[in-house]
Every structure is written in structure tokens, then in C-alpha cells.
Structure 1
Amino acid sequence: MMQRILLCAFIWMAAIWPAAGQAQDMFWSTTLPAITGTDTLGLHLRSLREQQDGSRQSAQPAPAPSATAFRYTPSPRRRAANLAQFVAKSRQNDPKGAADLERLFASTDVVEAMRAPLAEAGLRIDDVADAYAVYWINAWQASRGVDDDVSRRMATAVRNQVAGVMASTGALRGASDAAKQEMAESLLIQAALIAAAMEQSKSSPELGRQLAAAVSQGARGMNLDLAAMTLTEDGFVPAN
């Protein structure tokens, strides 16, 4: 039940944002899309559809890519630099929110705190494909305004889709541990912030609409058209 796990693990992230107000509106409408749009890793829906079509036509499933291709050895020094960069990007549009994030990151290792809850869903914090799966699921749910539990089967299916597309497109070919860590940690922080905002939006339909628009815009910057897909127990499929 990954979505609930993330909310339980990162409910303290919601506390750094006021329940309403101009600062929060600015963050979700401008800062989040700006942050996601700077990520170099793109997941192409066309590649996913081609992969799905090919798997339906093939008698034998394609071999799963090696897990080691997506994993890295985390460095505390790199993590500190990654979080500082995240704060710097946030500060361009929301100085107060960025200051709150900076204080939070200084007091808590937010990425390490995700290790145990993600493990319950069969995912890891030191794996780029896993991090993308967490972000993708949270972003899709936020874009649809749904807050359903995510089963281990579903999380694994999405993770395998991500890994397959990354392998087929060569997205991580030759990537260093530093590059993988930067990608993964940015995705995990975004996923946690989305989860926190989804919790807050339960009492504010307007905030929910703003969040959906902001997350959808940010995802488009990563070549993800969330409106064109549907999440199932077997992963994402093209929307009807």
C-alpha cells in the first residue's frame, strides 16, 4: 500500500506548507513544474506503448534488465548537494517555501527516511527505476485527484515498466553513481511533496485542482502525458 505508506512517512512534509495562502499556491503552480521540468530523465509514452504492443505480439516476454543498471551507492555528500540544489530551484519562485525546505532538510535525512516504507512496497531508495515509479504513481494519482492504496503488485509492475523503457532507450547508459543519485533523489523528494499536498487537498477542492494542474504540467516537462494513461494492477496502460 505504497500511497498510504508515503503519506505516513512524509506527513511532516505537509507541515512546512500552510493549509492555504499565496505562498503555497505559488509553489504548486510554478515551482513544482519548474523543478520537474529540469530533470534530464524522460519516460516516453510512445516507447511504453510500443513495448506493450510488442509484448502482446511476442510469445516469449522480453528478459528483464539487470537491476544493477539502475542502482547506485548513495553518498551523503552528494545527497547534501542534491538537496541544496533542490532548495535553490525552489527559491527562484517561492523563497519562503524554499527556506522551510532548507530547515527540514537540515534537521532530517528525508531520503533515508523513505527506505523502510518503500521497502514494504518492494522498492528501494537507491534505485533510479524505483524512484521514478514512486514519482509516476504519485503524479498520476494527483493529476486524477484520487488517493487509492497502491499494492505491492502494482508498484512492482510500474517499476518493471520504467526499467524496461529505460533499458530500451538507453536513458542511463554510462550514467555515474552521482548522476543516478541526483535523478533518484529529485524524484523521491517530488513524490513526497506531492503526497503531502494530496493530503492537504482533501480539505480544499481548489488546492486539489491547482495541484492536479501543476503536477500534470511538471510531468509534461518529463515527456509524461498523465491524461493519456490509466493505472492498473499490472501497471500503466493507455487510456481509452
Structure 2
Amino acid sequence: MPLWRPLSFFIILLSAGMAHAQYQMISPMLYEGPRISLQDHANRFQSKPLAGDTVSLDYRPDPARRRQNLAHFVEMSRTTSPADADNLAQIFASRDILEEMRTPMGKVGLRIDNVADAYTLWWIDAWQASRGINGDVDRQTVIAVRDQAARAFAQSGSLRGASDAAKQEMAEALLIQALLIESGVEQAKANPALGPQLATAVSLGAQGMNVDLSSMTLTENGFIAAK
């Protein structure tokens, strides 16, 4: 059964040139627009969707839109970490790093062209980083969280009627955040003193999305309220 950490190749790529200031780039979102606010809904951990709640979370990726999204992120990053922004710009220019995530994500049942799948990757990575955890997550757990995220999006109605461009912008923002978090986790393995900095950055970023990572626990059935 495939385990978590599907992005190890990209983590090495990012870690090679990223400075400690990368934690400042772990922000609520990478675009101007509605924030993902699933925490607003009391039934986040509900096991069944509400009747009639359906929404398409798939989108058709557009290469031009992707270049625009990544360029926007690089420009936003320059205000907090110019050197890291330059490094990311070089990475983005040299390869389609998001498209290359398709295969490793697929090994744990996720796709790059689905908003709930991108949210799942970010959600699990963020929760683990906030707790200083660096463990594997099995496919069953990943799928449970994905289904949970899809239900929450459907119930929130935040993406009902959203265009492919809007969904791509949101998903790619989450994918880049997941890459940055995984990069930070790898750096903290080599330098444990960085762990608390990463945990704080991730927790604050999640709060900006109205997600309190400390209020939940990850189980094989998805996230549940922490006791």
C-alpha cells in the first residue's frame, strides 16, 4: 500500500536553495480571492453529505493560467523573502513542477486537477507539520480525508458555480503550500531547531484560512475533533 511523502523528489529540489525565510512564504493563500473557510461549518467531521449537496471539484488545468498563478506567487513572495522567491522562479521556469506532482500524488489516490485532492495534500501536511510529526500516512487515511474535504466543500457551497480558472488558482495555491511545508519538514529533519518555527508558520497560515489545526486529530477515518 502506497505511503505518504509522495513528493520527496521535489522536496530535495526545493530544499537545495531555500533559506529559513521560506517559512514566511507559508501563507493563508497565494491569490486574491475568497479564502477556503471550511472551519466555519460545524459539520466538518460529518460522515455523510447533506442531501442535494453536489459540486464539481475537478477542473481542466490551463498552462497559461498556471504560469500566471506561479508568477503571482513569486511576486508576492518577494516582499518577505526575495532570495527564496528568485530560487522558486528558477525552479518554476525550468520545469512544470505541478504537473510532475501528478504521478506521485496518484500513488496515494490524489489528483492535481481536483480542489479537494489539493486541499487534502495541504491539510495532512499542515497538520503533521504543526504537530512536529514526520510519519507516513496510508492510502486509506488519505482517501478518508479527501472524501471529508469534498463533503465540506459541497456543504460550504464556496465553489458552486466556480470557473475552471478559479478552481485551478485555489488548487495550485494549495499544492505549492504543500511543497513548501514538505520542504520545511525535510530541513527540520536535518536541523531540529527549525521544527518549532515551521510549526508556528504552518499554524498561523492555517488560521488565515479559518482552520485551527490544534482542534483536530488525524485518524484512519479522516480528521476528528481533538479530545
Question: TM-score, with normalisation over the residues of structure 1?
Answer: 0.87
C-alpha change, 1:142 and 1:64, in structure 2 (3 Å) is: farther
C-alpha change, 1:168 and 1:102, in structure 2 (3 Å) is: same
Quick check: 1:198–1:208 contact (8 Å CA) kept in 2?
yes
2:56 matches 1:69: yes
Quick check: 1:154–1:234 contact (8 Å CA) kept in 2?
yes
Measure the CA separation in 1 of the matches of 2:91 and 2:73: 12
2:165 matches 1:178: yes
* Bigger fraction of residues in helix: 1
Deviation at 1:33, TM superposition (A): 2.7
Measure the CA separation in 2 of the matches of 1:40 and 1:89: 17
The residue that corresponds to 1:225 in the other structure is: 212
Q: Secondary structure at the match of 1:231?
A: strand
State which of 143, 159, 162 in structure 1 corresponds to 2:149.
162
Quick check: 2:4–2:136 contact (8 Å CA) kept in 1?
yes
Name stretches of at least 5 consecutive residues in structure 2 with no aligned partner: none
Runs of 4+ in structure 1 off by over 4 angstroms are: 34-39, 60-66
The residue that corresponds to 1:27 in the other structure is: 22
Measure the CA separation in 2 of the matches of 1:143 and 1:39: 25
Deviation at 1:175, TM superposition (A): 0.6
C-alpha change, 1:98 and 1:122, in structure 2 (3 Å) is: same
Q: Secondary structure at the match of 2:223?
A: strand
Deviation at 1:117, TM superposition (A): 0.4
The residue that corresponds to 1:52 in the other structure is: 45
The residue that corresponds to 1:142 in the other structure is: 129
Q: CA RMSD in A?
A: 2.1
C-alpha change, 1:160 and 1:223, in structure 2 (3 Å) is: same
Deviation at 1:224, TM superposition (A): 0.6
C-alpha change, 1:122 and 1:86, in structure 2 (3 Å) is: same
The residue that corresponds to 2:115 in the other structure is: 128
Q: Secondary structure at the match of 2:205?
A: helix
Quick check: 1:37–1:222 contact (8 Å CA) kept in 2?
no
Deviation per CA, 1:49-107, whole angstroms, max 9, x where unpaired?
A: 52535x4xxxx7757965x7000111000000000011011111111110000000000
Measure the CA separation in 2 of the matches of 1:141 and 1:38: 26
Paired residue type of 1:41? R
Q: Secondary structure at the match of 2:133?
A: coil
How many pairs are equivalent?
226
C-alpha change, 1:214 and 1:182, in structure 2 (3 Å) is: same
Quick check: 1:36–1:221 contact (8 Å CA) kept in 2?
no
Measure the CA separation in 1 of the matches of 2:222 and 2:165: 29
C-alpha change, 1:64 and 1:99, in structure 2 (3 Å) is: farther
Deviation at 1:14, TM superposition (A): 1.3
Quick check: 1:37–1:221 contact (8 Å CA) kept in 2?
no
C-alpha change, 1:235 and 1:228, in structure 2 (3 Å) is: same
Q: Secondary structure at the match of 1:175?
A: coil
Paired residue type of 2:17? I
Measure the CA separation in 2 of the matches of 1:230 and 1:224: 13
2:224 matches 1:237: yes
Deviation at 1:217, TM superposition (A): 0.3
How do 1:32-47 and structure 2 match up within 5 A? 32-33=26-27, 35=29, 40-45=34-39, 47=41
Identity of aligned residues (%): 47
Deviation at 1:143, TM superposition (A): 0.4
User: After alignment, is 198-207 or 38-47 more displaced?
Assistant: 38-47
Paired residue type of 1:159? R
Name stretches of at least 5 consecutive residues in structure 1 with no aligned partner: 18-23
Deviation at 1:41, TM superposition (A): 3.3
2:1 matches 1:7: no
